[in-house]
Amino acid sequence: MILPIATPAEVRRYVRGLFRRHPRPLGLMLSLHALGALCGLAAPRLLGELIEIIRDGGTTGALDRVGVALAGAVIVQSALVYLARNASARLGERVLAELREEFVDRVLSLPIGTVERAGTGDLLTRTTRDVSSLAYSVQWAAPEILTALITIVLLVAALLLVSPLFLAAPLLAAPLLWPASRWYLRRAADGYLRERAAYARITEGLAETVEGARTVDALRLHERRRRQTDEDIRGSFRAERYTLFLRTVWYPIADTAYVLPVVVTLLLGGLYYANGWMTLGTVVAAVLYMQQLVNPVDQVLSWLEELQEGQAALARVIGVGAVSAAGGTGPPPRGNGIRLHDVTFGYVPGRPVLHGISLDIAPGERLAVVGPSGAGKSTLGRLLAGVHRPESGELTIGGVPVSSLPPERLRGEVALVTQEHHVFAGTLRFNLVLARPDASGEDVRDALAAVDALGWATELPDGLETVVGEGGHVLTPAQAQQLALARLVLADPHTLVLDEATSLLDPRAARSLERSLAAVLAGRTVVAIAHRLFSAHDADRVAVVEGGRIVECGSHDELMAADGSYAALWRSWSS
């Protein structure tokens, strides 16, 4: 795991800070909840009173008065419940909005190297599942537990007021309920996590079969998919069976623990009443309180699970904040020349991908990097773009180490376009101007024309205002790649690193694009990592990378004359 997760202590500190920011709404909400719960205690008490009036041979008038009091308590309680719920929704939404906005701000300032290494998967899970789970906790689990806890405290207090003699009843149930619930809750979180993960595997497997139906057909994978599904289901059933086991242990114990206090109260009440220590009304009120206690206790226990999950989600969400913000604060570069001197780099310590690379790239030069897969071409490109920092050796732009530049500055110098492309949900224009918010309509059209994309772009249903990306008009991978290049044209850095930036276009289109792009980029330094040889042919210089080293470097003609591996390849391609 590359992205950190906050420790429980950090989570607690964060939650305390969150609420400390809003002391008044919090206080208001708590007191409203408490007052509402207080009114809820009136009914059993008043019922006991009714019974007393009857026993004392009271009048119907006295009964009616209690009846009115009963109704009054209910009405006041409901008004308080309304206010309390409203207050907690307000506070909850506010806290939630702060949480997610802070999270997105943090994500947006993550160093690009961290994003590259962590991959999108983990971050995406935090953004979608964890933030949703957190929302559920804040909107449901936290207020439900809060109201239930307040109710429990008040019920016990009411019981004490009726008569402390009944306290024995709930205390008797505690030794049963406490260890069983602890046992259950310790295992439940993991159990349900596994259960959901196993269920997700079934869903994913189904999606794979459906989306890959053509492949299943072509390769006759029917039997294999069937077996895979059954295997996934077996996994899910194992996980389900485990949580069912947990519930099978816990539910009956909890149910028994809920009925015990009522029985004990009945017995104690009979004893106390027989001895004349209390009235029948008091006994009845106590029995009813005991029954009322079951609900909030059950609520707390069942929502605790959700709260645990919310806590785990929060730890992952605020963990992102622990990554130090991107970039250095070095001085601005003097000039555009790039210099690599004895640069070594590896993703895993002790396993270098690049060994002692030395290379000078002159401003305005067009350099093609070729070589077999896995030779380290893309890694070299990422180093040039400042995504990674060399392990040893020097990499400078205009005499300044690339890694010392702040990101806003760096991207004015070097930009990287890879095979991976992303179309943001929004209009086509929005997708372009994000690289340069002040770009005019003319600039945007010019940029599209430079990558041979103006034709299809203007033919879209709403032209440049067509909504593309997730949920919008779907662009082909080739169009998305053109879009990425057009963005670069707008951003206009002095050095471009193109890593297979036209690989998704068909060869003929790719070549035409590269030519029109070259016209626009005249005077810019272009490092093109390419697998198509004609790209190399068009470049000023070609660097052949093999096994993490530059084995040949020179113009096309020089390399042909040298008759090395480049020349061999070129001949087999063009003859």
Total Cβ atoms within 10 A of residue 352:
17
Phi and psi torsions of 14, nearest 5°: -65, -45
The token pair at 283 is: 């006994």
| Cβ density class 198-209: b for 16+ within 10 Å, e for less | bbebbeebeeeb
Task: Please say which residue, 415 or 453, places its beta carbon nearer to another protein.
Answer: 415
Smaller CB separation from another protein, 5 or 504: 504
Q: Report, in this order, helix, strand and coil percent for the chain, each rounded to 5.
A: 70, 10, 20
Instruction: Kindly state the tokens that stand for 541.
Output: 């210089």
Q: Which is nearer to another protein, 396 or 565 (CB)?
A: 565
Tokens of 415: 């930009």
For another protein, the closer of residues 236 and 311 by Cβ is 236
Phi and psi of 285, rounded to 5°? -60, -45
Q: Are 53 and 167 in contact (CB under 8 A)?
A: no
CA–CA gap between residue 79 and residue 380 (Å, rounded):
68
User: If residue 373 lies in a helix (H) or strand (E), which one and from where to where?
Assistant: none
- At its nearest, how many Å lie between another protein and the CB of residue 420? 7
Retrieve residue 298's tokens.
């059950």
Question: What is the rounded CA–CA span in Å between residue 564 and residue 290?
Answer: 91
Judged by beta carbon, residue 9 or residue 218, the one nearer another protein is 218
State the maximum Cα–Cα separation within the chain, in Å, rounded to a whole number.
121
- Using CA atoms, how far residue 142 sits from 88, 175, 303, 314, in Å, is 10, 26, 8, 13
Contact by Cβ (8 Å): 390, 343: yes
Q: Which is nearer to another protein, 208 or 365 (CB)?
A: 208
Q: Give the nearest distance from C-beta 573 to another protein in angstroms.
A: 5
Decide: 417 and 353 in contact? Cβ < 8 Å.
Answer: no
- Pick the closer one to another protein by CB: 362 or 443: 443
Closest separation in Å from C-beta 296 to another protein: 14
Find the shortest distance in angstroms from Cβ 274 to another protein. Answer: 5
- Report residue 468: phi and psi, to 5°: -120, 180
- Residue 329 CB, nearest distance to another protein (Å)? 17
Question: Residue 249 CB, nearest distance to another protein (Å)?
Answer: 9
Alpha-carbon distance of 364 to 522, in angstroms, equals 7
Number of residues assigned to the chain? 575
What is the nearest approach in angstroms of another protein to the Cβ of residue 8? Answer: 25
Q: Tell me, what DSSP letter sits at residue 439?
A: -
Name which of 393 and 412 has its Cβ closer to another protein: 412
Least spacing, CB of residue 407 vs another protein, in Å: 6
**Smallest distance, Å, CB 572 to another protein?**
6
Residue 60 vs 329, nearer CB to another protein: 60
